[in-house]
Structure 1
């Protein structure tokens, strides 16, 4: 039987913050001498390199939806655990945290949940909310990205938790700050409801009246692409707003932009925002739950926040930023400090210390 110190469970279904974090943490722990595995369900599309000494186990799920899909995940995971074992399992998705908690009762491993989204989301109002209230106090621990997410839970969960933010994988001197910014507003993310790009598109259609030389480019792909294109065309913005497919050299594409915007309805610790700040791009974010952007941005100092899902506030803040290019250069310069406060080394050392502490308790 193959044995691991730590096993991460989740879904590798393309570019995304949770996928990136799971892979990067797995790689970092393996470099630091731990035996590491990733178990991915449904899909195995790794958008980032996984080191050779990190084992990847793919569990293909045939059921399309509903309770059958849940039972299939449970049964196939149980079958895998008859062949491999791990002292610690860290789940990056809620449903998998519940499944692996139940499996921990049989296979005797420690189970942790890494919260990557918004604990106040409406998905927790029904059965999921009941399951969370029942199971979470019985789990071994939790990793939160923000204080806001941690504060959503009772003391029984908080006392077993730790806050580890996402790191920035950009070093301070990796990219030279431009002396002349392009007349481009940029955004990055999956084209989904959560990312709220329709709000940005509508707001930008108002902003261009005052700033006719500025264009909007959104890098991403997803289920809402056609809907967003219809919105762009209906506003007569097809020559001013571009939906651009994801590119490998994204940082070089966006680093000279005038403003980066994150309009999301909710985010954990948003990688796209952190990366834009690390590049020195003046950044504007929704002040969305559970509070990740507000923990990164000091209003007017290293970025700007607008009221969540508020089109008028977005318009006002974006117009202000575009009208103050010299002030924005200073804002972008200050934002680059995130390369130091959230460096890969600092964050991965926190992950390593956390996992080693749990392993010592087992030994």
Structure 2
């Protein structure tokens, strides 16, 4: 089977990480996989199998007066030459351009929604792209039922909910006997992730937990703003922003607590990874329900209202004080590995692709 991803980049990000896992797994199962990149980077931040071919059309698009036409041409040319069995995109605009590019080629297009449809892609042009995708995509993959329900019934009827895959090969396991007095979070430094909320909550805890450090892993446009905010709170000796890291699991495995403070998410990969390690986790109830898909409040983690620093601080304090309950949460959190098992999830995708091919060809 030939599978083509069309993506803007393979930089650090949840969608990119999922693409890398799917691509590598499918190659292991004998599939051929190519990733056509339309953005500014032709490199992958994630390890890819040598069998996965990265192709970039950016050098041509950069020179073009209308780069979108270059992307459409690149996708169509590659599809006519290589004849993939399926084309997959995780991006609204790229999926729309891809739909136009493969018109008449009888190749199924699968679009995967990676975020909260009510919070992203809200410009007029984005809404046009979304209408094209709704009309032209053959199948849809959602990470949560909440995201699925944001779309029209006609889309829901040709959609499935599939959690993100996680490759836990070589994953560390949290050891409560050697944990450090660290509270950690992982995510792009962007408004969506709302790290200011976490900083505010931590500032309320700092007096009662003076030995703890908050470490915010990630990179993004808000770095300077967040650094200045930390200084304004007088927390520069207690809050660290070390940037994005490869093998992030090794950096967070010994923390006392993982916190997700996002306002909205697709389904939070960082939370999945922290749970898979066995860390006790606290998360905001980010729309459209990704955290609730993963956490049963009080059993394998804690869920709090979005945007409420007092509630977040209270939940963090509870976990830090009651280490017996924290250990119970961590042990239960690790059971998420069964639900996001790489082979199970990747096979679900392959079954969807086979069904989509059959429908497209009238089988």
TM-score (norm 1): 0.92
Going from structure 1 to structure 2, the CA distance change for 1:313 and 1:72 (only over 3 Å counts) comes to: farther
Deviation at residue 142 of structure 1 after TM alignment: 0.5
Structure 2 residue runs of 5 or longer lacking an equivalent are: none
Going from structure 1 to structure 2, the CA distance change for 1:304 and 1:138 (only over 3 Å counts) comes to: same
Deviation at residue 209 of structure 1 after TM alignment: 1.8
**Aligned Cα root-mean-square deviation (Å):** 2.3
Of 242, 246, 249, which aligns to 1:248?
Answer: 246
Structure 1 range deviating more: 22-31 or 79-88: 79-88
Of 223, 226, 234, which aligns to 2:224?
Answer: 226
2 CA distance for matches of 1:68 and 1:198? 38
Structure 1 range deviating more: 96-105 or 71-80: 71-80
Deviation at residue 275 of structure 1 after TM alignment: 0.7
1 CA distance for matches of 2:52 and 2:247? 25
Are residues 1:29 and 2:26 paired?
A: yes
Per-residue CA deviation, residues 207-250 of structure 1 (Å, 9 max, x unaligned), is: 11221111101111122111111101111111000001223342
Going from structure 1 to structure 2, the CA distance change for 1:148 and 1:279 (only over 3 Å counts) comes to: same
Deviation at residue 44 of structure 1 after TM alignment: 2.0
SS in 1 for 2:45: coil
Q: Is the 8 Å Cα contact of residues 116 and 268 (structure 1) preserved in structure 2?
A: yes
2 CA distance for matches of 1:266 and 1:208? 26
Tell me the residue number matched to 1:191: 189
Are residues 1:18 and 2:15 paired?
A: yes
Of 265, 281, 293, which aligns to 1:295?
Answer: 293
Deviation at residue 85 of structure 1 after TM alignment: 2.6
1 CA distance for matches of 2:17 and 2:229? 30
2 CA distance for matches of 1:249 and 1:209? 32
Aligned residue-pair number: 360
Going from structure 1 to structure 2, the CA distance change for 1:116 and 1:144 (only over 3 Å counts) comes to: same
Deviation at residue 191 of structure 1 after TM alignment: 1.2
Deviation at residue 100 of structure 1 after TM alignment: 0.9
TM-score (norm 2): 0.92
Greater strand share, structure number: 1
Going from structure 1 to structure 2, the CA distance change for 1:128 and 1:12 (only over 3 Å counts) comes to: closer
SS in 2 for 1:242: strand
2 CA distance for matches of 1:46 and 1:360? 32
Tell me the residue number matched to 1:40: 37
Per-residue CA deviation, residues 285-340 of structure 1 (Å, 9 max, x unaligned), is: 11111111111000000001111122222122112222211111111111010112
Of 92, 99, 103, which aligns to 1:105?
Answer: 103
Tell me the residue number matched to 2:212: 214
2 CA distance for matches of 1:96 and 1:167? 22
2 CA distance for matches of 1:13 and 1:57? 11
SS in 1 for 2:256: strand
2 CA distance for matches of 1:261 and 1:15? 19
2 CA distance for matches of 1:269 and 1:190? 14
Tell me the residue number matched to 2:151: 153
Tell me the residue number matched to 2:322: 324
SS in 1 for 2:191: coil
Deviation at residue 134 of structure 1 after TM alignment: 4.9
Tell me the residue number matched to 1:333: 331
Structure 1 range deviating more: 314-323 or 18-27: 314-323
Tell me the residue number matched to 2:3: 6
